Amino acid sequence: MFRLPVSKMDEFFGAIAAAQTLYLPADGKDGKASYVKWESGIALSKALNTVRSAKDFFFPQTTNLCDFNVNGKNIEIIDNRTESEDFVVFGVRACDARSFTILDKVFLAEPVDSYYATRREHGTVITMACTAPEENCFCNVFGIDAANPEGDAACWLTENYLYINPITEKGRKFIETVKGLLEECDSAEVDAQKAATKEILDRLPFANVNTDYFRKNTLLDIFNSDKWAKLSESCLACGTCTFVCPTCQCYDIKDYDTGHGVKRYRTWDSCMYSDFTKMAAANSRTTQLQRFRQRFMHKLVYFPDNNEGEFGCVGCGRCLSRCPISMNIIKVIKNFGEEE
Amino acid sequence: MQVNENNFRPKIVAFCCNWCSYAGADLAGTNRLNYPADVKIIRVPCSCRVNPMFILRAFQRGADGVIMCGCHPGDCHYTSGNYFARRRMTLLFSMLDYMGIERERTRVEWVSAAEGAKFAATMNEFVETVTALGENKRLEDLRCKSKQ
Amino acid sequence: MQEQTVKRALELLADGTVNRVLGWKTGEFAYDTTPAVFTSAEEVEKSFIYNDFCGPNLSKYLIKESRKEGKILVFLKPCDTYSFNQLCKEHRLIRENIYVIGVPCTGKVSAEKIKSSGIKGITGMESDGENVTVHTLYGDSTVKKSDAMGAKCSTCKSKKHVAFDELIGEDGEVNNDNARFEMVEKLEAMSADERYEFWRGELSKCIRCNACRNVCPACSCENCVFDNPESGIQQRAAVNSFEENMFHLIRAFHVAGRCTDCGECSRVCPQNIPLHLLNRKYIKDINEFYGDYQAGADLDTRPPLNAYTFDDCEPSIVYKKGGNE
């Protein structure tokens, strides 16, 4: 374990940014935190989390996959990928850090998504332990410890020190680049912070939400449940939940005709949209009930079925605080759990 | 906004109604009145056919200025089309201005079939104004700018 | 208020006037109420709620609900009745299938607003109409209700119900003294460059979740132009600044003269973009150019973009307006 005095944070960020691009959560004009590229003078946000998740770094909202030039009957394919540069994402919370492991299972499984893989390779994730979780947090339901996050290296911020502990090889390499500013230390203060946070985590309103229902019952029983109708009736069919979600990974690919060529884009897609996975012949889901059900079945049933029981949710609470009509995964889990 | 007067030629899209302004443009031509070739005319059945999307799409596809021409108020071939168009464009232009997009890039002029001279004069003046403003940067879509 | 609304809902269900009730349902915390259709007395008794935290506008749900079997009871706040009227005017609702009870409103508390003042971890709230007591994981605090209301309520335009079958409580008055155009005026007074910077800063945050569009009672098209693959402008996410601008410009234009300024767009925006400032610009312009008009206030006046006069101002009026180049 290493540490540096809080007064040297700026110097620390400067040292990282000198070697590679550094991104961290900073407060915007509206007081909301979002990831920005660090420049001298930008302070680390004190907010619990960013409005948008950290998945943007590896799976951005839009990606220009390739371009085409059309000349008569010839089509030239232009690979516009440039060698990606190394970057550091600092201040990722435990929930978002876990979301990368979930996304890895999707994008790094065969066939490997080269766009995602490249970004993942070049990115170093430095996480930050939570000290003041909020009412919408339920990462502990999925076995995530907010006080002891994963990532390439984890940080703990106390009153006077920033503690940092490397976890992976990449993390150890990262520590080497800023070694001059750090001093080795014991973990006494960090342990005290962990204990204090754990006490808060244990009394969070959703600390004991039970997901057993989705393990005990069969896929078809859950799928055919008549509860979906009630749960989905007021859904607006907007994509807020899917776009702020750190684990939602559906995308759509589209060609854009620029008049002198074609650009191929990949953009986030949402299962809440009426034309989600629409095919030439028909639409596989014609009602909002089906689309709403798809989202929760995916996170709570299909994904665990394919991934040794791991749920496709990390309990970051973004959909809880952002849904325009306050319908969310907690209400779904609880509603099904009630039957027990 | 610095103008490179040496080689910047603006792209202008002019939506002209079939019954008055397009005929006015024709008259300008038959009278051999000059107006810059930078103006590309798109004929529409009535100025009312022009929907705000047309204006934005013109900018997206590389226009530096968009002008809409129709029959004089009271003379619409369809009685009232240009009245509706007038309200729509007033509100749209006001909104573009509100969003900080140069207000001189958009214009509406009423040109009758007999006003070939007015058509040429309007276009000359508009091209001059837009040339002075320079390239459209605020409502551009870089993808559509052709590779030079 | 809660008791009276529940009582009437139960009575109307019992005597068969209606077979369903559209209202708000309690959530996990005080502030996360969800619009819901109640079909039985038990459901109403169990989870129907009407209090200072029931922000969502219910009128748009009636497009779908009024086409179902039987009559539905709906509770509408004053601002919701404007949306309701506007939808009736556009023949989007089947009026005879709806029973409207107007409920009074003194402004809705926004959890978002309270959170932005630095209060975190809200597990409960109570409002007595003057003050809001907030319970959090880290202790309790009290906020003045006027400081806890979102943009939509702090500039309330009317407490009068413009459509109802019956009212609970006293009807309020139209409030013409609201300061809702203040921010628009401030923007107008800026230079074009400043305005451009302002809107780029806001609109570049957009994640194209479509929440503003989908919640908007004026956006009631069966198939939106931005969802139509034949339109040539179908978009998923905005690829560049042009597409961000286009979506919001066109959306605001499509509801110009029909937007009742219910403020739902800004309430639901996950990125806190002040979208109502686009709609209010149109409302302000319409008022200035074509005379005062409030969408949804009545059923008969022609909407300003479906009307004209010979003497309407010319579009060149825009060049003569204030603001600097």
Query: What pLDDT does residue C39 have?
Result: 95
Query: What pLDDT does residue A4 have?
Result: 95
The answer on A176 and A55 residing in a single domain is yes
CA-based diameter of chain C, in Å? Answer: 65
| pTM of the predicted protein model | 0.93
Helices (H), chain A: 9-19, 94-107, 114-122, 169-177, 188-202, 213-216, 219-223, 227-232, 240-244, 288-297, 303-306, 318-322, 329-337
In a domain, A328, yes or no: yes
The answer on C143 and C82 residing in a single domain is no
Residue of B nearest to A262 (CA): B143
CB–CB contact B61 A259 (8 Å): yes
CB–CB contact C120 A48 (8 Å): yes
Q: Which of B11, B13, B141, B143 to mutate to test the interface with A (most CBs of A within 10 A)?
A: B143
The answer on C161 and C48 residing in a single domain is yes
Hey, what amino acid is at B55? I
Q: Which of A255, A258, A262 to mutate to test the interface with B (most CBs of B within 10 A)?
A: A258
- State the Cα–Cα distance between residues A155 and C105, nearest whole angstrom: 47
Counting one residue from chain A and one from chain C, the pairs whose CB atoms sit within 8 A come to: 117
The answer on A217 and A199 residing in a single domain is no
Q: What would the mean pLDDT of B107-130 be, rounded to a whole number?
A: 96
Q: What would the mean pLDDT of A7-33 be, rounded to a whole number?
A: 93
Q: Tell me if B108 sits within 8 A of B50, measured CB to CB.
A: no
Q: Across the interface, which of C205, C209, C271 has its CB nearest the CB of A239? A: C209
What is the CATH code for B12-134? Answer: 3.40.50
Q: Which of B60, B141, B144, B145 to mutate to test the interface with A (most CBs of A within 10 A)?
A: B144
Q: Tell me if A189 sits within 8 A of A159, measured CB to CB.
A: no
Query: What pLDDT does residue A80 have?
Result: 86
- State the Cα–Cα distance between residues A195 and A202, nearest whole angstrom: 11
- State the Cα–Cα distance between residues B120 and B25, nearest whole angstrom: 7
| Helix B52-60 × helix B81-98 angle, to 10° | 50
CB–CB contact B97 C323 (8 Å): yes
In a domain, A221, yes or no: yes
The answer on A191 and A83 residing in a single domain is yes
The answer on A108 and A26 residing in a single domain is yes
Which chains touch C (3+ CB pairs under 8 A)?
A, B
Query: What pLDDT does residue B147 have?
Result: 59
In a domain, A171, yes or no: yes
Give the closest-approach CA distance of C237 to chain B in angstroms: 15
CB of A67 less than 8 A from some CB of C: no
**Domain around C65:** 1-108+157-177
Which residue in A166, A80, A79, A82 sits closest to A119, CA to CA?
A: A82
Give the closest-approach CA distance of B31 to chain C in angstroms: 28
Q: Could you tell me how many residues make up chain C?
A: 325
Give the closest-approach CA distance of C162 to chain B in angstroms: 27
Query: What pLDDT does residue C324 have?
Result: 43
Query: What pLDDT does residue C322 have?
Result: 54
Q: Tell me if A141 sits within 8 A of A315, measured CB to CB.
A: yes
In a domain, A156, yes or no: yes
The answer on A273 and A244 residing in a single domain is yes
Cβ-based contacts of C238 with chain A (< 8 Å): 62
Residue A71 pLDDT class (50, 70, 90 cuts):
confident
- State the Cα–Cα distance between residues C150 and C160, nearest whole angstrom: 19
Q: Tell me if A129 sits within 8 A of A194, measured CB to CB.
A: yes
- State the Cα–Cα distance between residues B34 and B31, nearest whole angstrom: 9
Q: Which residues, in sequence order, are bridge partners of residue C47?
A: none
Residue of A nearest to C211 (CA): A238
CB–CB contact A31 C116 (8 Å): yes
Does residue B5 have a pLDDT over 60? no
Q: What would the mean pLDDT of A308-325 be, rounded to a whole number?
A: 95
The answer on A129 and A27 residing in a single domain is yes
Query: What pLDDT does residue C236 have?
Result: 83
- State the Cα–Cα distance between residues C13 and C19, nearest whole angstrom: 6
- State the Cα–Cα distance between residues C206 and A62, nearest whole angstrom: 13
The answer on C315 and C258 residing in a single domain is yes
Q: Return the domain boundaries, chain B.
A: 12-134
The answer on C44 and C133 residing in a single domain is no
- State the Cα–Cα distance between residues A274 and A265, nearest whole angstrom: 20
Q: Which of A183, A203, A223 is the last residue of a domain?
A: A203
Q: What would the mean pLDDT of A193-214 be, rounded to a whole number?
A: 95
Which chains touch B (3+ CB pairs under 8 A)?
A, C
The answer on A220 and A175 residing in a single domain is no
CB–CB contact B90 C314 (8 Å): yes
Looking only at the bridges linking them, the beta strands covering B65-70 and B106-110 are parallel
Q: What would the mean pLDDT of B12-33 be, rounded to a whole number?
A: 96
**Domain around A330:** 213-337
Per residue of chain C (325 residues), what is the pLDDT tens digit?
Answer: 889 999 999 999 999 999 999 999 999 998 999 999 999 999 999 999 999 999 999 999 999 999 999 999 999 999 999 999 999 999 999 999 999 999 999 999 999 999 988 899 999 999 998 999 999 999 999 999 999 998 889 999 999 999 999 999 999 999 988 889 999 999 999 999 999 999 999 999 999 999 999 999 999 999 999 998 888 788 888 888 999 999 999 999 999 999 999 999 999 999 999 999 999 999 999 999 999 999 999 999 999 999 999 999 999 988 876 544 4
Cβ-based burial of A324 (10 A; exposed 0-12, middle 13-18, buried ≥19)? buried
Does residue B146 have a pLDDT over 80? no
Q: What would the mean pLDDT of A306-323 be, rounded to a whole number?
A: 95
For chain B positions 55-84, those within 8 Å of chain A (CB to CB) are 61-62
Residue of C nearest to A199 (CA): C137
Q: Which of A145, A173, A203 is the last residue of a domain?
A: A203
Q: Across the interface, which of B143, B146, B147 has its CB nearest the CB of A256? A: B143
Cβ-based contacts of A286 with chain C (< 8 Å): none
The answer on C16 and C125 residing in a single domain is no
In a domain, A191, yes or no: yes
DSSP state of C286: H
Instruction: Please give the tally of structural domains in chain A.
Output: 2
CB of B146 less than 8 A from some CB of A: yes
Does residue A176 have a pLDDT over 80? yes
Q: Tell me if C131 sits within 8 A of C142, measured CB to CB.
A: yes
Q: What would the mean pLDDT of A267-289 be, rounded to a whole number?
A: 92
CB–CB contact A259 B147 (8 Å): no
The answer on C172 and C223 residing in a single domain is no
Instruction: Please give the tally of structural domains in chain C.
Output: 3
Cβ-based contacts of C317 with chain B (< 8 Å): 90, 94
The backbone region for A87, taken as left when phi is positive above 0, alpha when psi lies in -120 to 50, beta otherwise, is: beta
Give the closest-approach CA distance of A166 to chain C in angstroms: 30
In a domain, A208, yes or no: no
Q: Six-digit token pair at A320?
A: 């809880």
ipTM of the complex model: 0.92
Q: Which helix (H) or strand (E) holds C319?
A: helix C317-320
The answer on C171 and C34 residing in a single domain is yes
